[in-house]
Amino acid sequence: MHCKCSKAGGPQLMDSPRVARPINRSLKPVETEPMIGETPSPALDSWLTPNSVFYIRNHFNFPDISDSPDTDWIVSINGSVKNPGSFTFSDLSKFPKQTQAVTMECAGNNRMDLTPRVPGNQFESGAVSTAVWAGISLSKVLESFEIDPEAKELLFEGEDSGEPEPGIKTQNFQRSLPIDVAMHPDTMLAFEMNGEPIGVEHGGPLRLVVPGWYGMASVKWVRQITALNSPFEGYFQTYKYMFRSGEIPARPVSLMQVKSLITSPMNGTDVKGDSHSISGFAWSGNAEIDSVDVSTDGGSTWQPARLVGPSDKYSWRQWNFSWISTDTGHHTILSRAKDKIGNLQPAKSNWNELGYEVNGFKSICVNVI
């Protein structure tokens, strides 16, 4: 496998993995209307992503909620429920607060790696981040409203709205979840992110967090929840976020696919000496990470990396590999992950029309001098 190296700066290491350290960086812009940005490469070496560089993917511009104090935020509950009604942000204080580290990835992360190119935001590797979210289990909040046992899905509507594309009427962002996923005790209405109130750019004051699923499921600025007895067929449910490829039957995008990322050394780096540390992260929406292997010869041979750092149920896992290089010159480095139920990261991503679930090997090149 041929590579060309160019000069690049090295990554910064963090002191405490459970603290989102400050970083003198800003998001790498992808679009401005609506605001879309990915986490810059130097910030991807941190187990927790600082809020300021946590990736942002919006379908519409931020809603204007300046006249709506958090305490006045109201969420309506309707549809197939025995006791339709609403609750306020203040009402959430009556419920036990839960905290969990969750890795969130945009379904279109690494879209630019696909050949031939597909439409959509051309993300590199930075549309993935990890935060410690705090909030209330959705199932506890909904207990008093008594969801109909026959309900199949819960539909979530955000405060953001716009035209999904020219010619399609203005609408709010809406996504549904199967009832078992929505009512899972770890699916939460979150109001804190890394110990701070969630900013409007990340869906505050109140957003959904669905561990294990791609980010589109974690609806921001939640204003309405509707229990449905039949599947929702909205634009962002049955047109967007569908995996379509040739004659393969279309299927909805849901759980994050097993994937790994090399964060150090950075691509194009010159490295000196014969002893080197290769590190990165691995994650899967289906299960925790079981192992990571590393190749320093373009995939001809593989050796096991060491899993290090925090091991949380829904967060990525850091890994490290000590490489003794006996040859100078260019080296192509790869990583591959496997989760605990046997899902193995593929060498090549499955091409699809909208560029989702891109999880093939992502190589880097280093020049040993």
Specify whether 74 is located in the same domain as 193: yes
Residue 37: φ, ψ to 5°: -155, 150
Of 48, 28, 30, the C-alpha closest to 39 is 28
Q: What is the pLDDT of residues 283-296, one digit of tens each?
A: 999 999 999 999 99
Specify whether 276 is located in the same domain as 341: yes
Specify whether 109 is located in the same domain as 238: yes
CATH code for position 270: 2.60.40.650
Specify whether 34 is located in the same domain as 75: yes
Q: Has residue 22 been placed in a domain?
A: no
Q: Has residue 217 been placed in a domain?
A: yes
Specify whether 240 is located in the same domain as 299: no
CB 41 within 8 A of CB 280: no
Specify whether 241 is located in the same domain as 188: yes
- The C-alpha atoms of residue 331 and residue 85 are separated, in whole angstroms, by 61
Residue identified by tokens 């959430």 is: 92
Specify whether 197 is located in the same domain as 282: no
Q: Has residue 297 been placed in a domain?
A: yes
Predicted confidence at residue 70, as pLDDT, reads 73
Q: What is the pLDDT of residues 161-197, one digit of tens each?
A: 999 999 999 999 999 999 999 999 999 999 999 999 9
Q: Has residue 54 been placed in a domain?
A: yes
Pull the structure tokens for residue 251: 């299927």
Residue identified by tokens 């090149």 is: 365
CB 336 within 8 A of CB 293: yes
Of 1, 72, 4, the C-alpha closest to 268 is 4
Cis peptide before 205 (omega within 30 of 0): yes
Q: Has residue 346 been placed in a domain?
A: yes
Cis peptide before 34 (omega within 30 of 0): yes
Pairing state between β 188-193 and 248-252: unpaired
CATH code for position 167: 3.90.420.10
Predicted confidence at residue 18, as pLDDT, reads 61
Specify whether 46 is located in the same domain as 118: yes
Specify whether 208 is located in the same domain as 290: no
Specify whether 190 is located in the same domain as 327: no
Q: What is the domain count for the chain?
A: 2
Domain closes at, from 211, 230, 252? 252
The whole domain housing 181 covers: 28-252
Domain closes at, from 208, 226, 252? 252
Predicted confidence at residue 19, as pLDDT, reads 58
Predicted confidence at residue 9, as pLDDT, reads 36
Q: Has residue 5 been placed in a domain?
A: no
Specify whether 186 is located in the same domain as 269: no
Q: What is the pLDDT of residues 14-57, one digit of tens each?
A: 345 665 655 557 999 999 999 999 999 999 989 999 999 999 99
Specify whether 208 is located in the same domain as 264: no
Domain closes at, from 210, 232, 252? 252
Predicted confidence at residue 66, as pLDDT, reads 77
Enumerate residue ranges in the chain where pLDDT < 70.
Answer: 1-24, 67-69
Q: Has residue 20 been placed in a domain?
A: no
Q: Has residue 102 been placed in a domain?
A: yes
CB 223 within 8 A of CB 159: yes
